[in-house]
A and B are shown apart, each in its own frame.
Chain A
Amino acid sequence: MRFTKDHEWVAVDGDIATIGITAYAAEQLGDVVFVETPEVGKVVGQGDGLAVVESVKAASDVYAPISGEVVEANGELGAAPETVNAAPEAGGWFAKLKITDPAQVEGLMDRAAYEQYLSTL
């Protein structure tokens, strides 16, 4: 798993990347009450808006950590947005992307670097 400073994670399986937000981000957001996932087929660039998570209090953007084409969105979150809080780095994933540029993945933090980054916040 790789991580961004905006607290997204990326898990790569072949040329497909699964994207979610970290436990830290989920805790900061508080109780998630709605998730807007992207349409399949949408092409996103690195840093583009990929999804929106809404807590009771506010809406927050989730950015694409890498460029790619959306091949699947997590339909379970429609009925169970709280999964983002319960299992942020597993069942709470937002979308799967077909990776455009594998080098972008290499540019992200590994878990040790991300945890080091969290300790500075």
Chain B
Amino acid sequence: MSESDLKKTPLYEAHVAAGARMVPFAGYSMPVQYRDGVLKEHLWTREHAGLFDVSHMGQARLRGVSPLSAFEEVTPGDFIGLKPGRQRYSLLLNKKGGVIDDLMAARPDGDGLFVVVNGACKDNDFKVIENELAGQVSVDRLEDRALLALQGPEAAAALEAHAPGAAKLAFMDSAAMTAFGVDAIVSRSGYTGEDGYEISIPASAAETVWNTLLADERVRPIGLGARDSLRLEAGLPLYGHDVDDMTSPVEAGLTFAISRKRRDAGDFPGAARITRELAEGPTRVRIGLKVLEGAPAREGAEIADEDGRVVGKVTSGGFAPTLSAPIAMGYVPPALSAPGTRLKVIVRGKQQAAEVVAMPFVPHRYVRKV
């Protein structure tokens, strides 16, 4: 795709003005970093509040007679049991039990189900939902809305000033509210492991909201580079890298997204494989690795056992700014997945010592009770 084919979010001009380095991502021209650089942006988010433009992500309303029960036909979540004002992480599954995408679905108000999916997957996701649930739900894409994320320990105080009531939301609450003087959908959630919010607003208001938040000295703009290192430290998988349409939720360590009720009923796509893996265990599992020496092990690096036999691959990896050490995620056989297991990562032909560690690498700081 050439530069000129790239789409722009409503904040493109604001990014360029702020000194962003723009790169192609999910078909959009997106800021990978601003003037501070990835390292400082990462640490700022952990200590203060980072503002991210994630308007490339797909937002839609699923409307129909009973969109909640219909949505259960394509996901393993308990959506019939999703209470008003709550949001759930879920998975769009294919019939082989692979993950088509991961997503957030919420009931911010009485208007059906509000769904947010990954930017690179959105066209396919919405087509799949439309096809599978034809006659039951309409998928109304919200192309005229921007999406921001405000993340970090000072996010709540910074947002409350412009979105009264935001601080009263708990982790995974979602509410339609007037914020910044416009109609907003605010959820207390994110992709950094920190407390924080995701804020859907009309595209026409995006630049005003962006600038209003940045006028707060606690808030700085954060690019995709730090978004990736933050989510890696938080142990959160990145779709298309750590999880794909061949990966099952059991392999990926995402069984929490399969509700007990749905598990017992076995009534979701790919239930045969997923139920079997839940009972017998999968052949490989996603693990966290701390690289004990040498260079960061990045996506595609081989993982070997102590005897040097290749047992798996790194699916994301890099330098963890909070830990000042290289970390990685990858897949290995379950027998080698216990924390403390010594493994090796192979970087540019060199075997480097690594150790399986529990994820998240950096503790989550979600605010579950307000």
Contact = CB atoms under 8 A, between A and B. Distances in A.
Partners in one complex: yes
B295 A56 contact: no
Nearest to B326: A34
Chain A CB within 10 A, most for which of B37, B229, B326, B348: B37
| Interface residue range, chain B | 20 to 34
A34 B296 contact: yes
Interface of A: 30-31, 33-34, 36, 52, 54-59
A36 B38 CA distance: 21
Contact of A36 (B226, B326, B348): B348
Classify the interface of chain B: helix, strand, loop or mixed. Answer: mixed
A24 to B, nearest CB: 14
A57 B318 contact: yes
Interface in B132-177: none
A56 B229 contact: yes
A56 B42 contact: yes
A11 to B, nearest CB: 26
Given A30-B33, A34-B319, A56 B38 contact: yes
A25 to B, nearest CB: 14
B30 to A, nearest CB: 13
Interface centre among B38, B39, B298 (most CB of A within 10 A): B39
Main secondary structure of the interface of A (DSSP, over half): strand
Given A36-B295, A56-B225, A56-B318, A31 B39 contact: yes
B53 interface: no
Interface of B: 32-33, 37-40, 42, 225-226, 228-229, 294-296, 298, 318-319, 321, 326, 348
Given A30-B225, A36-B295, A56-B229, 10 more contacts: A30-B33, A31-B37, A31-B38, A31-B39, A33-B296, A34-B319, A56-B225, A56-B226, A56-B321, A57-B228
A40 to B, nearest CB: 17
A36 B326 CA distance: 14
A57 B295 contact: no
Nearest to A49: B348
A57 B316 CA distance: 11
Contacts of A52: 295, 348
A57 B32 contact: yes
